[in-house]
Amino acid sequence: DCNNLTDLNDFLFKSNQPEPIAYDDTEAFIDLLRKMLNVDPALRIKPADALKHPFITMKHLRYISDEFYLTESQRIMEEFQHSEQEYTYSSLSTPNSNGEQTPDLDFSKKGKRNSSHLVQTKTRTGTSSSETKAEKKNTPHSDPRKSSPNDEKVHPLFSSESSEGASSEDSKMDLSIRWETDSSDTDKGSYSTDSDSTPSILTPGMVIMGNSKIYEVEEVLGFGTFGEVARCCIEGQDKVVALKVMSRQYESEFLNEVQTLQLLNKLTNFKHCFMKLNDSFTYRGFLYQEFELLDQTLFDYFKQRGDTLKVAEIRAIAQQILEALSVLKLLGITHTDVKLENIMLVNHEAQPFRVKLIDFGLAFETERLPQKGIIQNLACRAPEVTLGLPRDEAIDTWSLGCLLSALFLDCYLFPEENEYDNLRIIMKLLGQPDKKQLDEGTLVSNYFRKDKNG
């Protein structure tokens, strides 16, 4: 039970690897966790620095006498390596005139984009589909290849093919669309984790018309916060893909993810970090995204495995997600929803523990990250979010530290039942926020009471 922990050093006694060298490796893991879970975000380790930590580089294992442990640890790190990775994350940057590293991408456009023209597509009768009641009655279960001439056309949004012809003005990224309304509403940014909130849309055998492809659903793979995902074959192609469908009520999250992944997928040296988006389109009132087909989420794998991961296995996952977060930081993007369900194994049988970061529907440009409202799953929520302190990309590092500890302990380090207990365990294991944080946090009074000395 994680509630019985009194300090992160208790990890050493929960280790299922009693060998001395495993003990040393676990100590290095704990040291990295302490730096990732610093309650002060300003002091929290940066992803790029974490990649240089001895636990990741295995520097502390160089002179060990246990050759088997070293060989096994090296094997695990080598097995997930990807042939397309030719550079480190630092190649994303180019030196400016001052010799400083700056992202080689243009984020100059800061104005908000009106997404209405993207989602209010036109039917063949010329009626706005967002206003057509008949569209809501259309069932996606019939074969569109047998449909009548009055059926809805397929309308591309930000498909990989069509985006190439977009003007440079349209290709700029704006991740703030979900927050165009009054940001003072503290409920904005919260979202349901109940998969039943989205009715079933996809069924095996169902046919879907894309931009230039016809998909047939083979198997529904699962349900998420905003929609569901199915494995589909493409007519006339020897190719299987993942197709994600969302209702129009989640159009902002849909647009967020499309825009973010289009940007990330252009970084050819870092395509191994992020799920590949192949296409996106609307069909019969629903929003679709075509992705590369990956294996399974880390959450599902962990549940099926029925046992904790070895520190050497955790190291492999940590290295890859830290690299992904390093790229996001350089681009000025905060994911805000790093958790086990949003890390996918690519092909665990062929490349064990090779993973990719997915689900960018809740991502933001860091400079526009909402400073009010609830974000992040509570089990992985950074204390600055709960206490009403300034937020930046450091919240993603905190989330990663939480999920890495869960892989080792078989339980989340911090309770997810309520915020009070969550903060109580954070302070028990990591210490109390300093006076400056307690004075400045807008929500501190919900959890702390000042004594007579202030």
Q: What is the reported pLDDT for 197?
A: 44
Chain CA centroid to CA 114, Å: 25
Is 347 inside a domain boundary? yes
Task: Pinpoint the alpha helices (H) of 41-183.
Answer: 47-50, 54-57, 67-79, 116-119, 133-137
- pLDDT value, residue 82: 61
Supply the pTM of this predicted model: 0.78
Cβ neighbours of 234 (radius 10 Å): 17
Position 250 pLDDT exceeds 70: yes
Domains held by the chain: number:
2
Work out the mean pLDDT of the chain and round it to a whole number.
78
Residue-range definition of the domain harbouring residue 25: 2-79+295-357+376-445
Any domain includes 99: no
User: To 5 degrees, how large is the angle CA 44–CA 48–CA 54?
Assistant: 85
> What is the spatial distance between Cα 384 and Cα 387, in angstroms, rounded to a whole number?
5
Q: What is the 3-state secondary structure (H, E, C) of 153-190?
A: CCEECCCCCHHHHCCCCCCCCCCCHHHCCCCCCCCCCC
427 and 310 inside one domain: yes
For 379-401, write each residue's pLDDT tens digit. 999 999 999 999 999 999 999 99
Last residue of some domain: 292, 308, 331? 292
Q: For 431, left (φ over 0), alpha (ψ -120 to 50), or beta? A: left
pLDDT in tens, 153-198: 343 333 333 333 333 333 333 333 333 323 333 332 322 333 444 4
Is 213 a known ligand-binding residue? Answer: no
Residues 316 and 183 in one domain: no
Confidence of residue 46 (pLDDT cuts 50, 70, 90): very high
Residues with catalytic function: 337
Question: Are 326 and 234 members of one domain?
Answer: no
| Cα 22–chain centre separation | 30
Domain boundary among 246, 266, 292: 292
Give yes or no: residues 415 and 428 share one domain.
Answer: yes
CATH number for the domain harbouring residue 332: 1.10.510.10
- The pLDDT-based confidence of 113 (bands split at 50, 70, 90) is very low
Comparing 131-135, 212-216, 282-286, the range with the smallest average pLDDT is 131-135
Residue-wise pLDDT tens digits, 233-248: 999 999 999 999 999 9
410 and 318, same domain (yes or no): yes
Please write down the long-range contacts of 263-269, taking CB distance under 8 Å and 24 or more positions apart. Answer: 263/105, 263/173, 263/331, 264/327, 264/331, 264/360, 265/160, 267/92, 267/327, 268/84, 269/85, 269/86, 269/87, 269/91, 269/92
Residue 89 maps to a domain: no
- Same domain assignment for residues 160 and 180: yes
387, 395 Cβ separation under 8 angstroms: no
Relative to beta strand 101-103, strand 93-95 is antiparallel
For residue 454, give the DSSP letter: -
The conformational region for residue 179 under phi > 0 = left, psi -120 to 50 = alpha, else beta, is: alpha
In this predicted structure, the answer to whether residue 92 has a pLDDT above a threshold of 80 is no
Same domain, residue pair 59 and 169: no
The interaxial angle of helices 298-305 and 394-409, nearest 10 deg, is 10
Give the H or E element holding residue 346.
Answer: none
In a domain, 394, yes or no: yes
